[in-house]
Amino acid sequence: MTWLRHVRRAFVTAVMWGTLWAPLGVITGAIWDPNDSMDEPWIALGAYPGFLCGLVFCAMLAIADGRRKLDELSRSRAAAWGALTGLLVMALPMTGLLGTPNTEHPFWQWRYMIVAAVVLLSSLSAVGSVLLARTANKRELHDRSSGAA
């Protein structure tokens, strides 16, 4: 039953990251294509990488720090795991393993900035997840102590 709980938590984390990254895709679309002339689903530009980074982050933590809980992870360690997650998620599309890259497409021309943004967002999201887990843990401990009195 514990593995099912881990899968559920990983899915919730991934959905949370994807939801928080989705507005950044919309903002990018508003800046990049103000006339809405390109046929791009801008919300997906933020949601998909956020979701994937959230899943990979949870999987990496389960493999590497399996015995620790998320709230026990230091902020610097979470930031490092988040940055590595961003690099791993962006490695496949940027190496051309998923097909021949279109070098004329504007996103391919900005590929290094996109990778840096995903790495930074993933790192910040990991730290935010740790802080959220700590807050939830403190609240749970507080509720238990006040209910027992």
**Residue in the block written with tokens 């015995």:** 67
The 10 Å Cβ neighbour count of residue 23 is 13
Number of domains the chain is built from: 1
Structure-block tokens of residue 18: 């994807």
pLDDT > 90 fraction of the chain, expressed in percent and rounded: 40
More confident of the two residues 39 and 58: 58
Q: Among 36-40, 57-61, 141-145, which range has the highest average pLDDT?
A: 57-61
Q: How far apart are CA 63 and CA 67, in angstroms?
A: 9
pLDDT of 59 higher than 70: yes
Give the pLDDT score at 110: 72
More confident of the two residues 32 and 101: 32
Structure-block tokens of residue 92: 């496949």
User: What does the pLDDT look like over 79-119, one tens digit per residue?
Assistant: 999 999 999 998 877 776 656 666 676 666 677 888 899 99
31: domain range? 2-148
The 10 Å Cβ neighbour count of residue 81 is 22
Structure-block tokens of residue 114: 């996109």
First to last CA, the chain: 31
Amino acid at 15: V
Give the pLDDT score at 99: 61
